[in-house]
Amino acid sequence: MYLNCHTYYSLRFGTFSELALLELARENEVTRLALTDINNTSACLNFVRRAADYGIHPILGIDFRNGATACFVGIARNNEGYRELNEFLSEHLHQEKKIPKRAPVFQHAYVIYPFEKVLLNDQHHFLDHEYIGISVTDLRRLPFSRLIEYKDKLVLLQPVTFRNKRDFNAHRLLRAIDNNLLLSKLPKEEEASFEERMFPVRNLAQVFSEYPFILQNTERLMQTCSIHFDFSKNRKPQNLSTYLDNKEADEKLLEELCHKGLPYRYPEVDKRIRERLTKELQLIKEKEFVSYFLINWDIVSEARKRNFYYVGRGSGANSIVAYLLRITDVDPIELDLYFERFINLYRTNPPDFDIDFSWKDRGEITQYIFDRFQHVSLLGTYVTFKSRGVIRELGKVFGLPKAEIDFLCDGHYKPSELDEVSLLVLKYGNLIKDMPNYLSIHAGGILISERPLHYFSATHMPPKGFPTTQFDMVIAEDVGLYKFDILGQRGLAKIKEAIQILALNQPGEYATIDIHDIKKFKEDPHINNMIKSAQCMGCFYVESPAMRMLLKKLEVDTYLGLVAASSIIRPGVAQSGMMREYILRHRNPGRAEEKGHPVMLDIMPETYGVMVYQEDVIKVAHYFAGLTLGEADVLRRGMSGKYRSREEFQKVKDKFVDNCRKKGYKDSLIDEIWHQVASFAGYAFAKGHSASYAVESYQSLFLRAYYPLEYLVAVLNNGGGFYRSEFYVHEARMLGATVHAPCINKSMAVNCIYEKEIYLGFMYLKELEGRVMDRILKERQAHGVFTSLEDFLDRVLISIEQLSILIRINAFRFTEINKHELLWEAHLFLSKGNAIDHPKLFPPAHQDFEIPRLHTTDLEMAFTQLELLGFCLCSPFCLLKEPLKNTHGSSDLPDYLNRYIDLYGYLVTVKNTKTHNGKRMNFATLVDQHGEVFDTVLFPPVAAQYFFRGRGIYRFYGKVVSEFGFLSIEVIKMQKQDYIQDPRYADMKTANKKDPYAKAETKRNVRDEEVT
């Protein structure tokens, strides 16, 4: 009897989930129930999926509102009516239009106007599908209203928003957050009445006993409503079923494309390749996944036409068909990739392709997909209220000052220290924690459906400008909609831009390279030696300190070794202790036979019997524990966190243990193997995924090996990588580049290179306005370089504040005039806050000013660079207050093995972690005074005594240790070193002081930036 029920997907309004609503209905003996969230359909599919479990007949609808103001409720008679409602809502969400007072004429949906709205809008005429809704509170006014005459049109419309007072309190907090108001200032019209609750059916019937026709009308309306979605195990996929006109044409095209791709991928096609291809094609056809492959082929083919770089990864790399269609660049024959991880007879959902594009190209390829196919939408997701966000929002609602909100967010307090309001924030925060806050977009999921997606959900329009479903990937898969993953990453953009830069800086070299010649790169000894020595700064997925450490420990110098390392570094393997065991077995082959179980060694000989990849979970479950492939895939999916049914997962886990016991394995062995399996929860890579990453790593390593400066410029232009930009600048300098601060005549918005001269881009000057950059570059391109400050001011419209930034960074150094003198000159030309109305038709005559001779020290320039760029272009060791006490560096570590060393380091990055018993420890990477990298570890006793206090230079005393050949320092003492006082603000006259540290550089310091 309830036609207007809200869940917490009535965002910042409702207060409980769709399952809680079903449970509430069961408690109140309700057998038919309509879910009508406010301008939202996020919960609808799961509501229908689970309704039968609660013995309830589900009905779907939408409560159409403008803000908190109700307009009307739409109730779907059937799936077509649900589509109509979704299309109507989507149109208004996309175009940000207000919901009108009167609903359109729906063919398969009912419209119910609330009693109050009918009176306010003075409605007198109603179509056959339109009704008037009467709530419990409306009954008091009904006898005295003209609407009592519309007996055939009156239905029961009792809104359900709360279960109890607790829900009501949460609702008021949500409404205050939504309106950005203090709770005390929240208007009554912005919140719902506490009477919006569910009552037992018998009570409701008693209240409306004087108006039996209302109950009869309501019952009659609800009995005509039926909604159905197939959530059965053997459900039919809802994705686009055919790429061409029919399945036969699709199958023929797929076979043709595969045979066309054979010569490109395999110069010699042997029996093994043909058998694998036949097996895959047969299974793909049998599982009706042909269109899925062809759609992905269409997308990557278009990408190649547009010269977009992409990487096909995920379990799709296990398929030779995907390899032949050039969806992936991983040869499954070479790597012996386990095809059953990708597709098996028990798999109902299509295979998973993740296709990475450059972050610059992703939007364009997404637009192509929307243009190319008819029924397309991005996949939605929900951003929920998390602890800190809740505190910030409720802190504002309760009127706390920002400082007190920050204090609560930090969490370093005792409840006894807090005042009453702060305690209220924490108390009420639990009411809304983990509720949906707003709709967002899945990281890369795109749905391409056979039918309009409005059959399943309304769509909204996020800032990206593409329609997006109001449900997430889990329920999408449940109903048979499987996503295409189109992702964006910066690594591909770095590779593509490096080649573009190479075309300009070394056109002869550019003509000789093929970045897709992966086979050649795999066999290149120079590249493999770089991997072995971990010289991988800036290279995709292999540049982090942890990866650098692992590569050295494993002495990786092959593609297959890098594939394994890419997965071993993942938390699942590392946390289980198997990363260390893998290294031990790799360096001592006899250990595998000594420690490994024969079955495990037989299953995974390539990885010494250690589980490294996701496929290994399937292998172990199937061969070690005797599960079927289907059961093994349930286990694997459950481990990855993508499986909805935890009950089914638990059954498979229990069978795993039971089967192992039946095989006679000891409980200790079963527990050990299960612990290894369980450690993979959500973390391990598919082997094909690791192999795909390794391909991209080799591409970036090739560029880093042979064209390092061009590549590092591309890295910088795409936001850097694992490290801060200054360390890629440092790396370029160590590789022979001369790095210059931004220059008016040489720099672009991004970094640029002329042979070995790198000019930093204007983008590093954070306070320089984009429009000023554009003016400078357009004027320089149109009329040539600037010849003087006066020439610049005649041609470029600029304020004194913006001009000062350019002068201070010495962007006018080509004039050979000291920047202090230029600043005086600029102020004389431009009055503060005013810009000259230039360019002028004729160059103006300038008055000559006599300006005193001024000087700039290197130290002044370094501190200015620190302020404006975020880093200085000289060695940071030149800024120390006290001279260095020794010249020790990374190269000295082998001589001090198992001995103590005293050395200085400029902090690159720190990893804060905890031991198994929860104590804090640190791993830090630093650059020594000679520009080389070294690593330190602070174990808990030292970490408790010494803290890293931000960027800067630290002096360490510790023991040099080696683990599998990787040298690091176990720190005993640490002290941060002071910089010299900023000379720009020191009590000295710049013109008369000499730089006291002009000769402080050691012989291997890179030279300072030129200043006049």
pLDDT digits (tens, 9 = 90+) for 365-417: 999 999 999 999 999 999 999 989 999 999 999 999 999 999 999 887 888 88
pLDDT of residue 848: 55
d(CA 793, CA 800): 10
d(CA 40, CA 459): 9
The bridge status of strand 69-76 relative to strand 32-35 is: unpaired
Using H for helix, E for strand and C for coil, what is the string for 97-140?
A: CCCCCCCCCCCCEEEEEEHHHHHHCCCCCCCCCEEEEECCHHHH
Residues whose CB falls within 8 Å of the CB of residue 985, separated by 6 or more in sequence, listed in order: none
pLDDT of residue 484: 93
Tokens of 663: 């095989």
Q: 862 to each of 508, 859, 870, 880, how far by Cα in Å? A: 37, 5, 10, 12
Count of all residues that appear for the chain in the document: 1012
SS3 assignment, position 534: coil
Q: 447-457 burial, b if ≥16 CB within 10 A, otherwise e?
A: bbbbeebbbbb
| Chain-centroid distance, C-alpha 277 | 35
Least confident of 145-159, 410-424, 446-460, 863-877: 410-424
pLDDT tens-digit readout, 877-919: 999 999 999 999 999 999 999 999 999 999 999 999 988 888 9
For residue 235, pLDDT beyond 90:
no
CB 890 within 8 A of CB 881: no
Mean predicted lDDT score pLDDT of the chain: 90
Q: In terms of Cα–Cα distance, which of 110, 86, 78 is closest to 457?
A: 86
pLDDT tens-digit readout, 262-307: 999 999 999 999 999 998 899 899 888 899 999 999 999 999 999 9
pLDDT of residue 996: 37
pLDDT of residue 568: 87
pLDDT of residue 988: 46
Q: In terms of Cα–Cα distance, which of 26, 21, 24 is closest to 7?
A: 21
For residue 658, pLDDT beyond 60:
yes
d(CA 501, CA 507): 9
d(CA 67, CA 87): 19
CB 217 within 8 A of CB 131: yes
Tokens of 282: 């047969």
Question: Edge to edge, what strands does the sheet with 484-489 contain?
Answer: 310-313, 354-358, 484-489, 436-448, 376-384, 468-469, 459-460
Tokens of 533: 């020595």
CB 109 within 8 A of CB 129: yes
For residue 341, pLDDT beyond 60:
no
d(CA 126, CA 453): 30
pLDDT band at 643 (very low <50, low <70, confident <90, very high): low
pLDDT, mean of residues 712-729: 95
pLDDT, mean of residues 53-57: 96
Q: In terms of Cα–Cα distance, which of 806, 337, 179 is closest to 796?
A: 806
| Chain-centroid distance, C-alpha 391 | 24
pLDDT of residue 843: 55
pTM metric for this prediction: 0.86
pLDDT tens-digit readout, 788-846: 999 999 999 999 999 999 999 999 999 999 998 999 889 888 864 444 445 554 555 55
For residue 37, pLDDT beyond 60:
yes
Tokens of 217: 């009308």
Phi, psi of 117 (to 5 degrees): -70, -35
Largest CA distance in the chain: 100
Residue 27 DSSP symbol: H
pLDDT band at 343 (very low <50, low <70, confident <90, very high): low
For 902, other C-beta atoms within 10 Å of its C-beta total 13
d(CA 620, CA 680): 13
pLDDT of residue 287: 85
pLDDT tens-digit readout, 154-182: 999 999 999 999 999 999 999 999 999 99
What is the amino acid identity at position 664? G
User: 């010569």: which residue's tokens?
Assistant: 263
For residue 338, pLDDT beyond 80:
no
For residue 77, pLDDT beyond 50:
yes
d(CA 372, CA 369): 5
pLDDT band at 316 (very low <50, low <70, confident <90, very high): confident
Angle between helices 420-432 and 165-179 (to 10 degrees): 100
For residue 53, pLDDT beyond 50:
yes
pLDDT, mean of residues 247-269: 96
For 647, other C-beta atoms within 10 Å of its C-beta total 7
d(CA 247, CA 239): 14
Q: In terms of Cα–Cα distance, which of 430, 280, 299 is closest to 353?
A: 299
pLDDT tens-digit readout, 83-133: 999 999 999 999 999 999 999 999 999 999 999 999 999 999 999 999 999
Least confident of 221-230, 272-281, 605-614, 849-858: 849-858
d(CA 320, CA 279): 10
Torsion angle of the four alpha carbons 730, 735, 741, 746, in this order, in degrees rounded to the nearest 10: -150
Percent of the chain with pLDDT over 70: 92
Torsion angle of the four alpha carbons 633, 635, 641, 644, in this order, in degrees rounded to the nearest 10: 80
Q: In terms of Cα–Cα distance, which of 31, 95, 104 is closest to 64?
A: 104
User: 């103001």: which residue's tokens?
Assistant: 69
Tokens of 397: 């609602």
For residue 1009, pLDDT beyond 50:
no
d(CA 175, CA 155): 28
pLDDT of residue 1011: 28
pLDDT of residue 443: 87
CB 68 within 8 A of CB 189: yes
pLDDT of residue 860: 92
Tokens of 931: 């520009």
- Cβ-in-10-Å burial (0-12, 13-18, 19+) of 344 comes to middle
For residue 1002, pLDDT beyond 80:
no
For residue 1008, pLDDT beyond 80:
no
CB 509 within 8 A of CB 710: no
SS3 assignment, position 5: strand
Strand partners, 69: 66
pLDDT, mean of residues 318-338: 89
Q: Which helix or strand (DSSP H or E) is residue 172 part of? A: helix 165-179
The bridge status of strand 154-156 relative to strand 130-134 is: parallel
For residue 701, pLDDT beyond 60:
yes
Least confident of 223-237, 742-756, 930-944: 223-237
